[in-house]
Amino acid sequence: MQLDSLKVVACRYKRFALGTFVIVMILLFVPSIHQVDAQGTAAHVGGNIYPYRVPGEGLSGTTVGGYFCKPGLRQVPWSVYAPLCVPKWTGNNGGSTAPGVAASTITVTVDIANNGGLCTFLDKEGSKSTASTAVFKRNMNTYVALFNKDFELWGRRVVIKYFNGQGCDISELLGQDQSQAEADAQTAASLGAFADYSEVASTPPYDTALASHHIVAIGGEFMPHSWYQQYAPYEYSYYPSCTKFVQAAVDVIGKSINGLPAIYAGNNTYQHEPAKIGLIYPSDPLFSPCAAEAAQLLSQAHIPLADQFSYSMTDLASLSPEAVTAVAGFKEKGVTTVICACDPLTPAFLAEAAASQHYFPEWLVMSISDVTEVRGIMSAIAGKAFNTEWAHALTMMVQPVMPQDQEFTVAYQLATGHKLSSPPAIGDAGTLYQGLLLLFSGIQQAGPDLTPATFQRGMWSLPPSVQDAGLGGWLFKPGHYTAPSNFQVLYWSNRARGPVTHEKGAWVACNGGKFYSIYGSTSVLPAGKQLACFGKDGSSAPWNPPLSAIPKI
């Protein structure tokens, strides 16, 4: 793979490869407003979370945003993920309760520079274009204004301070430029941040540096559970921890792949043989903990590995030749099913290498990139090999759904009176919305005495969301710092149309769209039964959330 091909990916790498659950769509107006009920949440609270109560919670009245409130309703009518409602509060909030918190404001920093460029490795792409930055800020400011108006912030409002950071996302992910991540965290601290939500500039080194400055970070993408615990109470994410992802994957492998014919492989011989499983994972310190967890859980589940391969992530130039070596080994060992516990770009190099060696296994991909709108990125690297190989790919996440089934579009129109009109703007809005929803929910639940410790307690006191809404289920149990509580098994369809470009290529839910709980199954994945994917057994129709889980204007 020539490095020039990667320049196609450069500007979008962070946005797509480490983006959110494919929420980049169009807006549909629905002409009525309904308060969202917590759907029996109170019955589950005692068993799952510490029952901390904010002042006024459980009372009836009117919220600060003017919505009717009674026990069991959410703070806003357009979210099934928001906290339970609180009647409007008045009183003394204690003034400056923590750095970045004043009597009337809460400072949140946002790094907007070098988002997506391959920076020092290739020709430096630099920061986002002026137009793109303007859209990003517009969407950020739109949601912040809405949340400031409608969430109970105890006499305060969130103030965003933007800055142009020095760090490079890709270099930081490759273990380079750690000093620049620290410099950016120092900038956030100098701006007086209580929290930071640098949605497209967040990397584990930057988030770690923020924690060292006692700044709450809404980011923490795809790190092991132990990492969140180590840096508590400062790290939170609307992505799953990679520990959750690994647990989900091993459950799927043990029940629906191990010992069964590899019916979704592209090789006809493989389709009639019991699955032989191979594992590929990076040796990089940022990613290897979860790969180690995968290997350990596979062993505990008595799932044998026919082969495994560890590759270096010292620089992007090494990914392609290492993929070639890995594929050759898997093919020689007769591996029918490859588990890719990979960084976000390696799956594309594997697809290219496998097609060139006429190797067509099942792919089970454990990488956040593969629940985003990956078609453009993967095609840029792998070309036609992407469609050939990914026609046999599975992952575990939540299937992307249409905009009218996502609450960020409803919230945007409530805030502006206008529809989101273009894929880039919608993409920014979708990703920004989720992190801001977490941030404002934690602030509301913390109560007037806002500190990182009370913010953590507040996150743990959030009620479980509706479990089959457009983002899947959310639940912050004590000791947990990432939102997702369930998953679907997805397969890649070359015929289904993606929600951004409407071009062919999208993830579709297997097994009729059933959800499987990470915290103890509510819809148990049947053991010893093949998954219904790739159009078999009625799996070709995209899943849609039930009407009860879709917010309405």
**The three-state (H, E, C) secondary structure of 414-447, written as one string:** HHHCCCCCCHHHHHHHHHHHHHHHHHHHHHHHHC
Beta bridge partners of 421: none
The pTM of this model reads 0.87
In this prediction, residues 353-362 reach a mean pLDDT of: 96
**Better-predicted residue by pLDDT, 45 or 370:** 370
Residues 64-79 have pLDDT tens digits of 999 999 999 999 999 9
pLDDT, position 24: 24
Please tell me which of 169-173, 209-213, 414-418 the model is most confident about, judged by mean pLDDT: 209-213
Look up residue 11 and give its DSSP letter: T
Residues 296-310 have pLDDT tens digits of 888 888 999 999 999
pLDDT, position 65: 96
pLDDT surpasses 50 at 372:
no
Please tell me which of 218-222, 377-381, 511-515, 540-544 the model is most confident about, judged by mean pLDDT: 511-515
**Better-predicted residue by pLDDT, 125 or 57:** 57
In this prediction, residues 380-402 reach a mean pLDDT of: 84
Model confidence at 365, pLDDT cuts 50, 70, 90, reads confident
Which of 460-464, 531-535, 537-541 is least confident? 537-541
Residues 127-168 have pLDDT tens digits of 444 557 888 899 999 999 999 999 999 999 999 999 988 877
pLDDT, position 507: 87
CB 36 within 8 A of CB 121: no
Residues 491-509 have pLDDT tens digits of 998 888 777 567 778 889 9
Calculate the average pLDDT of the chain: 81
pLDDT surpasses 80 at 337:
yes
Look up residue 368 and give its DSSP letter: G
Say yes or no: do domains 16-240+404-460 and 243-401+486-549 share a fold: yes
pLDDT, position 130: 53
In this prediction, residues 193-204 reach a mean pLDDT of: 87
Question: H or E stretch including 155?
Answer: none
pLDDT, position 434: 92
CB contact set of 429 (below 8 Å; sequence gap of 6+): 139, 142, 143, 408, 409, 412, 420
Reference 356, options 1, 7, 8; nearest CA is 1
Q: What's the CATH number of domain 243-401+486-549, 3.40.720.10, 3.40.50.2300, 3.90.320.10, 3.40.50.920?
A: 3.40.50.2300
Model confidence at 548, pLDDT cuts 50, 70, 90, reads confident
**Better-predicted residue by pLDDT, 284 or 349:** 349
Fold exhibited by the domain 16-240+404-460: Rossmann fold (3.40.50)
Model confidence at 405, pLDDT cuts 50, 70, 90, reads confident
pLDDT, position 219: 82
**Better-predicted residue by pLDDT, 53 or 275:** 275
Reference 80, options 39, 120, 24, 118; nearest CA is 39
pLDDT, position 524: 74
pLDDT surpasses 70 at 454:
yes
Model confidence at 117, pLDDT cuts 50, 70, 90, reads very low
**Better-predicted residue by pLDDT, 45 or 432:** 432
pLDDT, position 170: 64
Angstrom distances, CA of residue 349 to CA of 162, 323, 353, 376, 498: 35, 6, 6, 14, 22
pLDDT surpasses 50 at 370:
no
Residues 524-536 have pLDDT tens digits of 788 899 999 998 8
pLDDT surpasses 90 at 36:
no
pLDDT surpasses 80 at 439:
yes
pLDDT, position 69: 95
* Rounded Cα–Cα distance for residues 430 and 440 (Å): 16
CB contact set of 47 (below 8 Å; sequence gap of 6+): none
Q: How many CB atoms within 10 Å of residue 202?
A: 25
Residues 83-95 have pLDDT tens digits of 999 999 999 999 9
Domain boundaries in the chain? 16-240+404-460, 243-401+486-549
Model confidence at 18, pLDDT cuts 50, 70, 90, reads very low
**The three-state (H, E, C) secondary structure of 71-115, written as one string:** CCEECCCCCCCCCECCCCCCCCCCCCCCCCECCCEEEEEEECCCC
Model confidence at 374, pLDDT cuts 50, 70, 90, reads low
In this prediction, residues 95-110 reach a mean pLDDT of: 98
pLDDT, position 26: 23
pLDDT, position 110: 95
